[in-house]
Structure 1
């Protein structure tokens, strides 16, 4: 039950219109790219009245950040996987799987992620959204590092927050290169190399 059974007909209609606009937005951004996409094109494809898109979204940047949240959900789910290893080997296996799933999720949304990359470079609103996404991942990684440090599996001299940033930025850079086709290595090999580098330095 999602609570929609308690909504009025008008509220349900508004939810559907919003969903239509988001779906239309995705199609227009994929076809035109971020810079060339317009709210008029999105409105037209969604078959909504003139200017209706502005009732739900301030501008195309606002609509796009909403789409980004949907796209990132798969990656959030990966980051939220339980991480309570009892050995270095167990930690390695879990980190390897998380890294592989993170990269796989981005490749499954490759075309949209290309538009995200473009949008980050030209929209302050989208860039801020991406920075918020980064911060969310880094907080989660920091928490995981603190856990393994307290469990005696990792070197406690390391600054957990700093290492978390380094680990995320390294993964982010590789992710963009995979999405843009600049790395053609096997996904498993890429994930294994990153994980060996990370765990080799952090873990005892």
Structure 2
């Protein structure tokens, strides 16, 4: 993304050159030995996490719904679109999950691609591909998944995954700007800015 690459690594490592190490550690076992100064829980589960707490690092930052300041994190960054997007909360919690996708180009739920049934997802399109309303973008066990609106495919689960009926498979950006698929979005920039603000509040520039 914008010149920064992710590379699978077997153990935690600092950033080197043009890549960031990506460690698969669903149980968080590496935290005990790595002992990071800052943890940012960006899983966006939208529910209270059972495995994140303020005891895990000097600064724990949670993104979006489910995190409560003082319990799960020292700071929470608002992820809901609107006036408070990217705001750092030092008390309370973020706005609850509404279950309604944010509006883009005048569309909300219509732009989301969902599984029509449970089964194995097989995409017929890729991120950045232009699609028309009614066009098939993949199948779940033979059942077609069609785009409700035209635009470009912006997000998409990889093929071969077992999915549940109604599960989000991807989304279509009705604005049709292909470059938006490969650059950091306005929402991501705002949330990242909030994380940086929280880190600098705990670790002022130039301090040790």
Q: Which has the higher contact order (CA 8 A, sep 6+)?
A: 1
Larger Rg: 1 or 2? 1
Structure holding more helix per residue:
1
